Structure formats: C-alpha cells, structure tokens
C-alpha cells in the first residue's frame, strides 16, 4: 500500500534496548526509502539519536513529561533527579546552556523545593525543560543530517550521554542473560 509514511510499533514494550534496535534494523530495510518512518512511543534522547542512525524519521514519546512528574530532567549528558537532596542548595539551572523558560528563570534548588512540596509549577517547569531539550535535540539532529556531520554528532552525543541507572541495569541484565545462553 502506498502510505505517506510507515510506523514501526511494538518496540517499546519493555524489551532490552539491543533487542529494540535489532527489531528496527530488521524492519527498516522493508520500508520504502522515500517515505517517512515513524517509531511509535520512543524513547530516551540516546535512543532517538540511535534510531535516527537506523533510518527512523519521526517519534512520539510521553517520556519527557512522564519522568518530569517524578522530578527527573533530561540533559545532554543524561538524566538528573531534581527532586533529590543533592540539589537542595544548587542554584544553577537544570542545564547550564539551556535557553528554555525553566532554565532561564528557576534554579535546581527552587525546582526541588516545588517538587517536594507538591507544587504543580515544579513538575510543569521540568516538563517544559524536558520538552525543550527533546525539541532542541531533534533540531540538532536535523542540522547535522543536512550538514553531513551526523555520524560525528552521534558519536559525540553517545560518548557523553549517561543513561539512567534503570537503563544501565537493564543492559547489564540483558548482557548476563545472553552469556547464560
């Protein structure tokens, strides 16, 4: 069928990240190269970069706002839990070079306070930051694709991005399971 684009679904249902990438790699060659490719319900910033490298063009994801409700902020270097005690006296923005509304007006310490007293402004501002971070990441990806420098951008981004502890633990468990086979 001649659709305007094609969705790749069922790859964000809890499987280990390497299996998700493998499923996309197996699917992508069967999709028309001149049509949009859409990955449904994905993913972390590093996953977006890796999936673009595998031929995916578009994404939708609730993650930026879902994790914000728990006080987690995405940065170019990984996630930070703004709600944590480490930020009680941290008067920097969520991310130093971010120009989003939240980073221009609020400190980590104040956002931590808002989150810990259940003031809705806290989760809204972390959501604003996370959404901005994702939009900026995708703009950077488009710029590097157009300039022919995406491979360098990808290598640099992945080298400096530290996944959350949950993602690291899942990778370790997956690697251990593969060794047992």
Indicate if the pLDDT at residue 169 is higher than 70. no
Residue carrying structure tokens 């994801």: 61
CA distances to 76, 113, 141 from 46, rounded to whole Å, are 9, 29, 12
Q: Which of 65, 66, 71, 63 is nearest to 114 (CA)?
A: 71
Q: Which sign does the torsion angle of CA 2, 138, 55, 21 carry?
A: negative
pLDDT band at 17 (very low <50, low <70, confident <90, very high): confident
- Per-residue pLDDT tens for 91-135? 999 999 999 999 999 999 999 999 999 999 999 999 999 999 999
Burial of 180 (0-12, 13-18, 19+ CB in 10 A): exposed
- Per-residue pLDDT tens for 84-96? 999 999 999 999 9
Is 0.85 surpassed by the pTM of this model?
yes
Query: What is the residue extent of each domain of the chain?
Result: 1-61, 63-130
Pairing of β 78-81 and β 36-39? unpaired
- Per-residue pLDDT tens for 35-59? 999 988 888 999 999 999 999 999 8
Residues 76 and 63: their CA atoms lie apart, in Å, by 15
Question: By the 8 A CB rule, do 6 and 40 touch?
Answer: no
């Amino acid at each position: 069928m001649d659709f305007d684009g094609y969705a790749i679904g069922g790859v964000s249902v809890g499987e280990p990240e390497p299996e998700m990438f493998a499923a996309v790699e197996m699917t992508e060659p069967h999709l028309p190269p001149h049509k949009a490719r859409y990955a449904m319900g994905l993913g972390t910033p590093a996953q977006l970069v890796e999936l673009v490298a595998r031929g995916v063009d578009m994404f939708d994801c609730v993650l930026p706002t879902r994790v914000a409700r728990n006080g987690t902020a995405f940065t170019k270097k990984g996630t930070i839990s703004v709600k944590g005690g480490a930020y009680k006296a941290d008067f920097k923005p969520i991310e130093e070079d971010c120009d989003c509304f939240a980073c221009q007006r609020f400190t980590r310490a104040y956002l931590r306070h808002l989150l810990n007293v259940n003031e809705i402004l806290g989760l809204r501002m972390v959501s604003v930051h996370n959404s901005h971070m994702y939009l900026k990441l995708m703009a950077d990806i488009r710029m590097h694709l157009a300039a022919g420098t995406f491979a360098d951008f990808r290598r640099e981004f992945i080298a400096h991005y530290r996944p959350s502890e949950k993602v690291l633990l899942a990778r370790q468990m997956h690697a251990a399971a593969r060794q047992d086979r």
